[in-house]
Structure 1
Amino acid sequence: MSDSATPATDEHETEYGEVVGFLTDLIRIDTSNPVKPERPAAEYVAEKLAEAGLEPRIFESDQGRASVVARLEGSGSSADALLVHGHLDVVPADPADWSVHPFAGEVKDGLVWGRGAVDMKDMDAMTLAVVRRMLREGRRPRRDIVLAFLADEEAGGNYGAKFLADKHPELFEGCTEAISEVGGYSYEINPELRLYLIETAQKGLAWMRLHARGQAGHGSMLNTDNAVTRVAQAVARIGAHEFPVTLTPTVRDFLTEVCEAMGIEFDPKQPEAAVAQLGPLARFIGATLRHTANPTMLEAGYKSNVIPERASAVIDGRFLPGGQDEFLAAIDELAGPGVTRENIHLDRSVESPFGTPLVETMLAALQAEDPAARTVPYCLSAGTDNKTFASLGMTGYGFVPLRLTPDLDFAAMFHGVDERVPVSALDFGARVLDRFLMAA
Structure 2
Amino acid sequence: MTSNADSALPAPAPTDEVVDLCRDLLRIDTTNTGDNATSAGERHAAEYVAAKLAEVGVESVLLESAPGRANVVARIPGTEPSRGALLVHGHLDVVPADADEWSVHPFSGELRDGYLWGRGAIDMKDFDAMVLAVVRHWQRTGVRPTRDIVLAYTADEEAGSEYGAHFLAHRHRELFDGCTEAIGEVGGFSYTVDDSRRLYLIETAQKGIDWLRLHAKGRPGHGSMVHDDNAVTALAEAVARIGRHRFPVVVTDTVRAFLEEVSEVLGIELDPDDPEAAIAKLGPISNIIGATIRNTANPTRLAAGYKDNVIPGRASATIDCRSLPGQSELLERQLRELVGPDIAIEYVQRQPALETTFDGDLVAAMSAALVAEDPGARPVPYMLSGGTDAKAFSQLGIRCFGFAPLRLPADLNFSALFHGIDERVPVDGLQFGVRVLDRFLRTC
Q: TM-score, normalised by structure 2?
A: 0.94
1:7 aligns with none
- Residue deviations 1:173-207, cap 9 Å, x none? 11111100001011111222111000111111111
The answer on 1:241 being equivalent to 2:245 is yes
- Residue deviations 1:327-365, cap 9 Å, x none? 011111211111111111111110111112111100011
Residues 243/17 of structure 1: CA separation in 2 closer, same or farther (3 Å cut) = same
1:118 aligns with 122
Contact persistence 2:86–2:149 (CA under 8 A) = yes
What is the distance in 1 between the residues matched to 2:178 and 2:41? 30
Contact persistence 2:85–2:148 (CA under 8 A) = yes
1:131 aligns with 135
Gaps spanning 5+ residues in structure 2: where?
Answer: 1-9, 34-38
Secondary structure of the corresponding residue to residue 283 of structure 2: coil
- The one-letter amino acid paired with 2:13 is T
2:158 aligns with 154
1:33 aligns with 32
Map 1:235-274; keep pairs closer than 5 Å.
235-274=239-278
Secondary structure of the corresponding residue to residue 25 of structure 2: helix
1:8 aligns with none
Map 1:196-211; keep pairs closer than 5 Å.
196-211=200-215
Contact persistence 2:30–2:94 (CA under 8 A) = yes
The answer on 1:399 being equivalent to 2:403 is yes
1:185 aligns with 189
1:45 aligns with 49
The answer on 1:97 being equivalent to 2:101 is yes
1:14 aligns with 13
Secondary structure of the corresponding residue to residue 141 of structure 1: coil
1:276 aligns with 280
- Residue deviations 1:11-36, cap 9 Å, x none? 99834321000000000111111321
Contact persistence 1:13–1:427 (CA under 8 A) = no
What is the distance in 2 between the residues matched to 1:131 and 1:28? 21
What is the distance in 1 between the residues matched to 2:283 and 2:11? 33
Match of 1:314 among 318, 336, 347: 318
What is the distance in 2 between the residues matched to 1:196 and 1:13? 28
What is the distance in 2 between the residues matched to 1:377 and 1:362? 12
- The one-letter amino acid paired with 2:18 is V
Aligned residues: 430
Contact persistence 2:216–2:316 (CA under 8 A) = yes
What is the distance in 2 between the residues matched to 1:308 and 1:427? 56
2:330 aligns with 326
Secondary structure of the corresponding residue to residue 282 of structure 2: coil
Contact persistence 1:81–1:143 (CA under 8 A) = yes
What is the distance in 2 between the residues matched to 1:262 and 1:269? 19
- Residue deviations 1:241-273, cap 9 Å, x none? 110111011111111111211111110101111
1:297 aligns with 301
- Residue deviations 1:395-419, cap 9 Å, x none? 1111011111212221122111111
- The one-letter amino acid paired with 2:125 is K
Contact persistence 1:12–1:427 (CA under 8 A) = no
Structure 1 residue 225: Cα displacement: 2.8
What is the distance in 1 between the residues matched to 2:317 and 2:57? 51
What is the distance in 2 between the residues matched to 1:104 and 1:224? 53
- Residue deviations 1:103-157, cap 9 Å, x none? 1111122211111111100000000110111111111111111100000111111
Structure 1 residue 215: Cα displacement: 2.2
What is the distance in 2 between the residues matched to 1:188 and 1:281? 11
Contact persistence 2:14–2:434 (CA under 8 A) = no
Residues 110/439 of structure 1: CA separation in 2 closer, same or farther (3 Å cut) = same
- The one-letter amino acid paired with 1:181 is E
What is the distance in 2 between the residues matched to 1:337 and 1:369? 57
What is the percent sequence identity of the aligned residues?
Answer: 61
What is the distance in 1 between the residues matched to 2:385 and 2:52? 33
Secondary structure of the corresponding residue to residue 244 of structure 1: coil
What is the distance in 2 between the residues matched to 1:311 and 1:256? 46
Residues 240/74 of structure 1: CA separation in 2 closer, same or farther (3 Å cut) = same
Contact persistence 2:231–2:313 (CA under 8 A) = yes
Contact persistence 1:85–1:149 (CA under 8 A) = yes
- The one-letter amino acid paired with 1:400 is A
What is the distance in 2 between the residues matched to 1:38 and 1:304? 39
Instruction: Give the RMSD, CA atoms, in angstroms.
Output: 1.5
What is the distance in 2 between the residues matched to 1:224 and 1:186? 55
Residues 140/427 of structure 1: CA separation in 2 closer, same or farther (3 Å cut) = same
The answer on 1:364 being equivalent to 2:368 is yes
Gaps spanning 5+ residues in structure 1: where?
Answer: 1-10
Q: TM-score, normalised by structure 1?
A: 0.95
Match of 2:147 among 143, 148, 151: 143
Contact persistence 1:67–1:160 (CA under 8 A) = yes
1:288 aligns with 292
- The one-letter amino acid paired with 1:136 is R
What is the distance in 2 between the residues matched to 1:418 and 1:182? 18
Residues 127/325 of structure 1: CA separation in 2 closer, same or farther (3 Å cut) = same
- Residue deviations 1:285-344, cap 9 Å, x none? 011111111111121222233322211111111111110000011111211111111111
Secondary structure of the corresponding residue to residue 210 of structure 2: strand
Contact persistence 1:32–1:92 (CA under 8 A) = yes
The answer on 1:375 being equivalent to 2:374 is no
Contact persistence 1:87–1:151 (CA under 8 A) = yes
- The one-letter amino acid paired with 1:17 is D
